[in-house]
Structure 1
């Protein structure tokens, strides 16, 4: 047994609702404790095993008692409130020199959009972005994000300290606070934020875009929840990588590795079933029946992440009660949903630590490809759905011209997307030869489904 596994086993005495084997009464039975613990072999898994123990802290911090969320203090009977989140993050920021909290935007109703940074900025560090609570009626991922910030802030075990010495974790804990307050999927204007990562009409999506542009994360991990359709669409957790055909091959492969070799196995080791988001399967054979979601449309963060050179992953926990006990006691249901996200986060941390060299290489290749690439650009299709001939720019243009009026209408959005332009008389020219090459036609070509403006195609440079 390795020292890290031994430590994980010593720390596996958390609140019962976070037991990694689905041991809460009424929850679907998971593997035996021995089987689940045998899977805790890496830094991320060991840390996640201790997430209910924000008590492995330096003696100097012990007097403060690390803060707890409203969800934790109520044992899952209610979700953490906005004021509780504010006070919780302020306390973590005040007591831990690893954490800083900044305001990166303001919603339509005046609520702050916060970015939490865990770990010091160091040359060569891997940057991971957690995007939590895009849909206001999907709160479990947000709770997992908040407690993960706290536990990383105060953990003193060697594995976690080593992880943070070479990793910067960025967390947007509540991307849609107006929707969270109202209990609605959309924001205060009724817009689905996760369908706004091309148009950038909402303050929430603009804040995400600015963070991605400025911080250039190698991984973007997007936490959600879903409603089950038994027996075809009925797993504890679903995951999906960027399917858009313009995502660089190395980014696509790294994203799929994150899903298939790390996040889903971590969920399984924690006693949770998993599958691919958007795909109904035959319960008898496990074979796909039909696809109901999870396509390659570029406006969804999962796909935009890949287009912006980050390994991306969508992760969805099951909202519906798994048992009569969960129906009778909603707190059981809440605790299971948060616990499933926490187990998956262990896989993310392991991936980050073990695959950091691969991530750096994939990100660099993806960014540089736009400077030399002449490959086709796809206006439709997905990695499991070939594009129609009409959706393929087989010989992409040199770029797109925007006159002054059109440019004025999209200037801010192009800047947020990290697109560079060349001033011209009465307008600008947007060359494809830049890091944002694969994204630009989706923004400016009139044939693209969600384009921002009708750019004038220029075939020769």
Structure 2
């Protein structure tokens, strides 16, 4: 949707460089010319620095009245975590891009910065119509401290993408608050991976929510996003793509084993599904694909970012074409918990049936927390959007609410990542 605009941006920059005698006031220049990232200006030789990122985001914020920039958290080391809103403020469809949760995986961040700029400054009718009907939220740098240190984890060494249940990190808490308050219909999570030739070495891999507590309609639409939109968009651009975590035989393409990509709820793509948002993880390959990329690091870097950008076009096409189905699926999933019926799963996945021990066939009607327990977890419950009722000095957390399955995952001792072991209440 924005490829031609990207080309126009580069052409405009070339014209500007060719006419150095033309003097334009700084304010007018910033309004007329879309900003460019450090990655773009160096043709992939350098990743955009954190200071440059902040200046770039401020320039994007000036892209028009359909853009707003806010700070949703401050990291332990004092760096801002930003949220960009582009498009309609309260549209029926909301898309959230979460970029580079792992600080040593920079291509997603670069893709998000570029895409946010292109959307904010777009003039073509198709993009403007899309933004009139869509709220696009972008967390361009989900791990500023990790990016500064070039580490997977944050400044405490915590993997943020394993913190979407416990919410012990400032970064995880900020994302939970965005999910609670904005209720995105689609969450698209950009990462990178290290290849294992010949079994696991495509340009890209993606994966939808595997957690069995994901509403079937949300799961199916997430899978459609992958198989009918993101993967074709990548292939049309010349990139190979497959299923994240699944090694395949190089001769036949048959799956050999699964090494990642399970259904654990603390990972964002699964947390998205449990919280009734469509989810998709996308991973670009860090390792060079060709001898030319081995010889020229910037060429490898450009492939990593370009593959992410081209895949994003599949996301935008999907949300435009499936708008009604997406909204129906997420709305129905959010209402389903109020019926308070059906099993809750504490293990398994869409490709790995839950065992009897992982299946709570008849969940309690809620969980009682004593005063100490409630004091310890009440903030996390609130960030997750889970409602608790005062009960003496403690609380009662009913299952009959939108986040029904999440209540069990947070408070049942059988759930692997539970916050505390609440007392099951069977008669309400």
Instruction: Give the TM-score range, shorter chain.
Output: over 0.9
Residue in 2 that maps onto 1:4: none
Is 1:61–1:95's contact at 8 Å kept on the other side of the alignment?
no
Is 2:340–2:401's contact at 8 Å kept on the other side of the alignment?
no
Q: How does 1:303-314 map to 2 (within 5 A)?
A: 303-314=270-281
Is 1:54–1:155's contact at 8 Å kept on the other side of the alignment?
no
Q: Structure 1 residue aligned with 2:196, among 200, 225, 229?
A: 229
Partner Cα separation in structure 1 for residue 93 and residue 341 of structure 2: 29
Is 1:277–1:294's contact at 8 Å kept on the other side of the alignment?
yes
Matched, 1:47 2:2: yes
Matched, 1:452 2:419: yes
Deviation at 1:327, TM superposition (A): 1.0
Partner Cα separation in structure 1 for residue 56 and residue 30 of structure 2: 16
Matched, 1:92 2:92: no
Q: Structure 2 residue aligned with 1:375, among 342, 347, 352?
A: 342
Partner Cα separation in structure 1 for residue 8 and residue 250 of structure 2: 37
Q: Which runs of 5+ in 1 are unaligned?
A: 1-45
Structure 1 residues 52 and 319, CA gap change in structure 2 (3 angstroms): farther
Q: Structure 1 residue aligned with 2:44, among 72, 76, 79?
A: 76
Is 1:55–1:66's contact at 8 Å kept on the other side of the alignment?
no
Higher relative contact order (CA 8 A, sep 6+): 1
Is 1:255–1:311's contact at 8 Å kept on the other side of the alignment?
yes
Is 2:35–2:59's contact at 8 Å kept on the other side of the alignment?
yes
Partner Cα separation in structure 1 for residue 362 and residue 78 of structure 2: 46
Q: How does 1:112-123 map to 2 (within 5 A)?
A: 112-122=80-90
Q: Structure 1 residue aligned with 2:73, among 87, 105, 119?
A: 105
Structure 1 residues 56 and 206, CA gap change in structure 2 (3 angstroms): farther
CA deviations 1:194-251 (Å, max 9, x no partner) are 0000000000000000000000000000000000001110110101000000000000
Deviation at 1:63, TM superposition (A): 6.2
Deviation at 1:125, TM superposition (A): 2.6
Q: Which runs of 5+ in 2 are unaligned?
A: 13-27
Is 1:56–1:156's contact at 8 Å kept on the other side of the alignment?
no
Deviation at 1:324, TM superposition (A): 1.4
TM-score by length of 2: 0.94
Residue in 2 that maps onto 1:153: 120
Is 1:197–1:205's contact at 8 Å kept on the other side of the alignment?
yes
Deviation at 1:62, TM superposition (A): 8.4
Task: Say how many residue pairs are matched.
Answer: 413
Q: Structure 2 residue aligned with 1:187, among 142, 146, 154?
A: 154
Matched, 1:392 2:392: no
CA deviations 1:294-319 (Å, max 9, x no partner) are 00000000100011111000000000
Deviation at 1:120, TM superposition (A): 2.5
Partner Cα separation in structure 1 for residue 185 and residue 294 of structure 2: 39
Structure 1 residues 108 and 63, CA gap change in structure 2 (3 angstroms): closer
